[in-house]
Amino acid sequence: MKQDYTISDELRALGSPLEAFSRKMPFDIPADYFAGFEAAMHTRVTEASLPQAKNQEAAFAVPEGYFDQLPREVLAKIDGRKENKSKTIVITKNWWLPVRAAAAIFLLLLGGWVYRSALVNRSFDSRLASVPDASLSAYVIQTSSDLNTEKILAGDPVKLQVPLTEEEITQYLDDTGWQ
- Residues in region 48-77 near another protein by CB under 8 A: 48-49
Q: Pick one of 38, 125, 150, 175: the residue that binds another protein (CB under 8 A).
A: 38
Q: Pick one of 12, 42, 122, 159: the residue that binds another protein (CB under 8 A).
A: 42
Q: How far is the CB of 58 from another protein (least distance, A)?
A: 19
Q: Does 158 bind another protein (CB under 8 A)?
A: no
Residue 162 and residue 143 in contact, taking contact as beta carbons nearer than 8 Å:
yes
Q: Which is nearer to another protein, 34 or 96 (CB)?
A: 34
The DSSP annotation for 75-141 comes to HHHHHHHHHHHHH-----GGGHHHHHHHHHHHHHHHHHHHHHHHHHHHHHHHHHHTS-HHHHHHHHH
Burial class (CB in 10 A: 0-12, 13-18, 19+), 137: middle
Q: Pick one of 30, 98, 163, 177: the residue that binds another protein (CB under 8 A).
A: 30
- Which positions lie near another protein, rule CB under 8 A? 6-7, 11, 14, 16-18, 21-30, 33-34, 37-38, 40-42, 44-45, 48-49
